Amino acid sequence: MAGRRKRPNSLQVAFWNANGLFHKRLELQEFAERHGVDAILVNETHLRAAVDPKIANYILYRSDRQDRRGGGTAIYVKRTVEHHAVNVGELEHAEATAIEIVAGFGTIRLVAVYNPPNRALLESDMDTLLATTTPTVIAGDLNAKHPNWNSRRVNLNGKILQAYSTAKGTLVDGPVDPTHYSPIGTPDVLDIAIFKEITVQYALTSLNDLSSDHNPVLMTLGNAVRDPEFAERRIICWPAFTDHLEQNLQKIQFFRTKTQLDDAVVTFTTTIQNSLNNASRVEREITRQDRLPEEINQLITAKNRARKRYQRSWNPVDREQYNRLAVQVNEALRTRRSEQWDAKLESLEENSNSDLWRVAKAIRNKNSPMPPIHGASGIVYTEAEKADVFAENLERQCSPNFDNADLDHIERVEADVRARLASADANRHLLPASPEEVKQLINRTRERKAPGPDGITNKVLKSLSKKAILS
């Protein structure tokens, strides 16, 4: 995953039975921005492979139903949040998608789950979903009702889940207000969360929002107050950097051992870093989402009121008004998105070709999340584990392989190399590089490149004085 990712002190997670996701994605995006949601757990997505319901600034993980229509689960997670996908294993009745998020309070697994109403909730499926030592939250529509999680009645799946929760020591909870509204029967809590080894505080709230027969549930995880998101910009005063570096550079020395050279490199690098920090300041601005026009906000408010009114009355007239407003909201969001895109294209015409090329590249490239990979000890998911697997693989490929090797030929090659190194031509001293040559090489580098672990960019190198280059 590219880019710097954050570990929030608390998480805002929404889970929702969409009853068809694709045509509601713009509405869902506006909802996520308005509530500052880090992850959205969706069930009953009704997606097919050719459909891509992506929303801006979120990465999508999905598990589409393959054998028949309906069903399916998905998770949207904010790009700035450190996370990775997780394989949930084979399930018989339930459907699920899982990720793990690295938060300020530790790693937590989030699972979007759906169990169809015509299928019993299986303990084996629950065992599979909870087969981890990582603290886990399973959230979605299990079609399981029980008063212990604020449902108005009990059904078979509710009894099964209550017995399972008691036996396994998990906690099942739901919001106080109903999450599902139907013309048949009374409103009830169907969208619930199962907590395993969760030690932080949580809160569940059913919201009268979005377009479905289910309300979205907003879940807050974490004891800490949620910090505002900041955009940081580092501003460097280059004259101050040069002056500080000139004053703190050590005298040019001659090195006779490798240790002396290594120590000098560390000292030189540290001096540049200290000068860079001394000449820099960091500006932080609270990131603000692009606010909707007031007329669209009013439309959304009117739509939510009409939805609430219809859920109470089940009057066909109220339903017609709610559906009309829902269509208007969706059309207004689509029109606004199109206008923003047109404005972006018009601005590109006034700027350089590099901006146009950058946008074209972003459109062509579909940056899919890197899937889990197989290592020597099994499947790995995190970035660190994947890096270790690649390192081990490269080390294995680059190690000498003496199986079926011609040892006599190897000895002849090594003897020839030793003879060449001992010859007079090999002992001639190499001419040292001049400062002008070093400066030319530095000037050829491209500034818009990421620095190495030392944090020294090519632009910093281009700002080095002649004294620094001589050092």
Q: How far is the C-alpha of 72 from the C-alpha of 62, rounded, in Å?
A: 8
Cα separation values, 151 from 154, 175, 210, 213, 332, Å: 7, 9, 21, 16, 36
Residue 22 contacts residue 241 (beta carbons within 8 Å): no
Question: What is the rounded distance in angstroms from the CA atom of residue 267 to the CA atom of residue 275?
Answer: 12
With tokens 């005298």, the residue in question is 251
The closest of 186, 160, 162 to 172, measured between CA atoms, is: 162
Question: Taking a C-beta distance cutoff of 8 angstroms, is the pair 136, 109 a contact?
Answer: yes
Bridging pattern class, strands 83-86 and 95-103: antiparallel
| pLDDT above 70: residue 342 | yes
Query: Is the pLDDT at 412 greater than 70, yes or no?
Result: yes
Tokens found for residue 307: 């939805």
Structure tokens that stand for 421 in this block: 């190194």
119, 104, 36, 33: which is closest to 71 by C-alpha?
119
Task: Find the mean pLDDT for residues 230-254.
Answer: 80
Phi, psi of 58 (to 5 degrees): -130, 145
Residue 192 in tokens: 């619930």
User: Of residues 340 and 368, which shows the higher confidence score?
Assistant: 340
Percentage with pLDDT > 90 across the chain? 36
pLDDT tens-digit map of 71-93: 999 999 998 899 999 988 899 99
15 with 140: CB under 8 angstroms? yes
- CA 365 to centroid of chain Cα atoms: 17
Q: State phi, psi for 180 to the nearest 5 degrees.
A: -125, 130
- The pair phi, psi for residue 245, each rounded to 5°, is -65, -40
Q: Which residues pair with 75 in a beta bridge?
A: 41, 61
Question: Can you give the pLDDT at residue 334?
Answer: 85
Q: What is the pLDDT of residue 430?
A: 64
Share of the chain above pLDDT 70, in %: 90
Which residues, 6 or more positions from 458, have their beta carbon under 8 angstroms from its beta carbon?
Answer: 442, 445, 446, 447, 449, 451
User: Which of 59, 78, 31 has the alpha carbon at shortest distance from 292?
Assistant: 31
Are 96 and 113 within 8 A, CB to CB? yes
**Does residue 340 sit in helix, strand or coil?**
helix
User: What is the number of other CB atoms lying within 10 angstroms of the CB of residue 219?
Assistant: 23
Q: Compute φ and ψ for 89, nearest 5 degrees.
A: 90, -175
| 0.75 exceeded by pTM | no
* Structure tokens belonging to residue 179: 């999450």
Residue 249 pLDDT > 80: yes
User: How far is it, in rounded angstroms, from Cα 114 to Cα 141?
Assistant: 5
Give the residue, 225 or 163, on which the prediction is more confident: 163
Amino acid at 318: D
Higher-confidence residue of 102 and 384: namely: 102
Rounded-to-integer distance, Cα 265 and Cα 253, Å: 12
SS3 325: helix
pLDDT value, residue 2: 44
Query: CB neighbours of 372 closer than 8 A, spacing ≥ 6?
Result: 85, 86, 87, 379, 380, 381
Q: Which residues contact 3 (CB under 8 A, 6 or more apart)?
A: 79, 80
Residue 32 has pLDDT above 60, yes or no: yes
What CA–CA distance (Å, rounded) separates 213 from 413?
76
Q: pLDDT tens across 453-469, in order?
A: 888 888 888 888 777 87
pLDDT at 1: 42
Measured distance CA(101)–CA(85) in Å, rounded: 9
Q: Give me the pLDDT at residue 350, please.
A: 59
Q: Where does the pLDDT of residue 178 fall: very low under 50, low under 70, confident under 90, or very high at 90 and above?
A: very high
**pLDDT value at 440 more than 90:** no
Q: What is the residue whose two structure tokens read 């995190």?
A: 382
